[in-house]
Amino acid sequence: MRTTIIYNDSHLYSEFGSTTPADAYVCLDTRAGSLYCDSDAGPVPSAVDRATDRGLVRRWPVAALTQRAANALLRRVQPLAERLLAGDGDAADEIDDACRDAGEVVEDVVVCEDAEDWFGPISADEQREQWGITPETTDDRLRDIEAEVRHEAAAESPPVVLRGLAHHLQLLRTQA
């Protein structure tokens, strides 16, 4: 069976709740031959859906990768996935090795940092001033600020994903 890659349109990182990183995986849907990356960012962390539980979707753990690295990994794994679908059981171990090795290149891994730590030496007052946060700042404006800050952090090298950013911004507003 031929596999079809479903490419990522963002870094392979997501959060469960406000601060907990979700586990990430390379997935192979053995019914359709779809090869993609996914995470456990659903309503229950580390929950296994029925298709995965029944072995219809195979998953291999992978580090939080940049978009470029995740898509490169999918291309690297594709011929192995096709071998696996053709009945070559050794290909599963090779996919596992490729996924584990993907996290070894520092430039390819997304850095996960707590929002409070990322702002570093900048005081809460300076943060409020920089982003225009007051007690009257609306939830919509906080979401816009969050998007701007996430974009700024993601542009760093290596990209930074901020854990707990929404909560941090809400605290800044509450304490203003």
Tens of pLDDT along 15-32?
A: 544 445 567 889 999 988
Instruction: Clarify whether residues 122 and 68 are in a common domain.
Output: no
Provide the pLDDT for residue 16. 47
Tens digits of per-residue pLDDT, 107-121?
A: 778 888 889 899 888
Give yes or no for residue 155 having a pLDDT over 80.
yes
Instruction: Clarify whether residues 86 and 146 are in a common domain.
Output: no
Instruction: Clarify whether residues 77 and 10 are in a common domain.
Output: yes
Instruction: Clarify whether residues 69 and 134 are in a common domain.
Output: no
Which of 87, 105, 123 marks a domain boundary?
A: 105
> Global pTM?
0.67
Which of 65, 81, 105 marks a domain boundary?
A: 105
Count of helices and strands (H, E) across the chain: 7, 8
Structural domain that includes position 75: 4-105
Provide the pLDDT for residue 43. 45
Instruction: Clarify whether residues 28 and 94 are in a common domain.
Output: yes
CB 74 within 8 A of CB 98: no
Q: Residue 93: in which H helix or E strand, if any?
A: helix 90-102
Residue 113: which of 169, 159, 166, 155 has the closest Cα? 159
- Cα 19 to Cα 165: distance, rounded to the nearest angstrom: 8
Instruction: Clarify whether residues 30 and 101 are in a common domain.
Output: yes
Instruction: Clarify whether residues 10 and 90 are in a common domain.
Output: yes
Residues 6+ apart with CB under 8 A from 140: none
How many domains does the chain divide into?
A: 2
Provide the pLDDT for residue 49. 62
Lowest mean pLDDT among 30-44, 89-103, 118-132, 136-150: 30-44
Give yes or no for residue 48 having a pLDDT over 60.
no
Which of 105, 128, 158 marks a domain boundary?
A: 105
Instruction: Clarify whether residues 72 and 156 are in a common domain.
Output: no
